[in-house]
Structure 1
C-alpha cells in the first residue's frame, strides 16, 4: 500500500498552538445555555457553565473569506493534507472542575497523531488534536481529544 503521509507531514506531529486565554462571563454562559437548551437553573442564571461551553468559548471568530467552502474555519495548527474532505472521527472530553463566571481559562492545542488507513472508498487520513484547558493557577479544567478523518 502506498502512503499519503510524507516525512514532512509526519514531522508536524507535536506542533502546538499559542496559548489562547479567555474570560468566562455570566452573560456568555446564559447565552450558551439558552442556545443549547440547557434548562438547569444554574446554567440559565449564568452561575456555572454547562458541558461543552468551552467549545464556543475557544472558537475563533473569523471573516467569511477565512472559511473553507463547507463553512469551517481554517485550522492553522494543521498542515496541508493530501486529502481534504473532513469528517468527525471521535471526541473525548474529561472535565476536571466546574467552570464559573470570572474564570480566566487558557487553552493550548497539540497535534498528537497522524496516521493512514484504507477504507471501502479508498485511503483515509486520521489526525488527532489534544486541547488542554487550565485556569490561571495552572490547574487542569478540561481536556478534549478530537479525532478527525479525511478522505
Structure 2
C-alpha cells in the first residue's frame, strides 16, 4: 500500500510566492569571509561566490517557527506521512554571475513526490526546484533539492 495519496500527489507543481532580494557588496563580502572564499573579486564584493544565493533566500524566523531539529518549516510542502528528513541531493546550475546591485527573484516549485522501499522500510522522496532570475527575467541559477523522508 502506498503512503502517497492522490491528495498528496496533487501538490506536485505547487509554487511559492516569488521572493525578491537585493544583492549588496557588503553581503557578498561578508559571505566570502564567512565561507573562506579568498579570491579578490569575492572579498572586494565585485562578484558573489558560489552558494551565495542560498542564505540570500533563507527565511529569518522566530525560534518557535523551527521544527524540533532546528530547521525552518517549509510552507511550500504538504504534510507528509513520514517526517524524519535526510538530504538526498543538490544540483545547482549557474547561468550568470551575481553582482552587487542585482535584484534577484526566486520562485520555488515542488516538482516531484515519489516513494521507494529502503532497508528500514518505506521512503518518500520529494524534489524542489528553485529558479532565480534577474529583473530582465533571465535565469541566473537553477537549484534542484532532493530530500528523503523516512
For this pair of structures, how many residues does the alignment match? 150
Partner Cα distance (1:97, 1:138) in 2: 12
Query: 1:32 is matched with which residue?
Result: 31
SS of 2:41's equivalent? helix
Deviation at 1:148, TM superposition (A): 0.3
Q: State the alpha-carbon separation in 1 of the partners of residues 63 and 44 from structure 2.
A: 33
The aligned residue for residue 62 of structure 1 is 61
1:83 CA displacement:
0.3
Name the counterpart of 1:43.
42
TM-score (norm 2): 0.99
Match of 1:15 in 2: 14
1:95 matched residue in structure 2: 94
Q: Which residue in the other structure is 2:121 paired with?
A: 122
Q: CA deviation at 1:104?
A: 0.1
Alignment RMSD (CA, Å):
0.4
Deviation at 1:97, TM superposition (A): 0.5
Deviation (angstroms), 1:57: 0.3
Structure 1 residue ranges (4+ consecutive) displaced by more than 3 angstroms after TM superposition: none
Q: Distance in 1 between matches of 2:115 and 2:107?
A: 25
1:86 deviates by: 0.5
**How far off is 1:88 after superposition?**
0.4
Q: Which residue does 1:137 correspond to in 2?
A: 136
Query: Which deviations, in whole Å up to 9, do the C-alpha atoms of 1:39-77 show, x marking residues without a partner?
Result: 111101111000000001000000000000110000000
Match of 1:3 in 2: 2
The secondary structure found in structure 1 opposite 2:146 is strand
Tell me, in whole angstroms, the C-alpha distance in 1 between the residues paired with 2:101 and 2:79.
37
- Structure 2 residue runs of 5 or longer lacking an equivalent are none
Q: Which runs of 5+ in 1 are unaligned?
A: none
Paired with 1:45 and 1:81, the residues of 2 have a C-alpha distance of 44
Residue 109 of structure 1 aligns to a residue whose secondary structure is strand
Aligned-residue offset at 1:17? 0.3
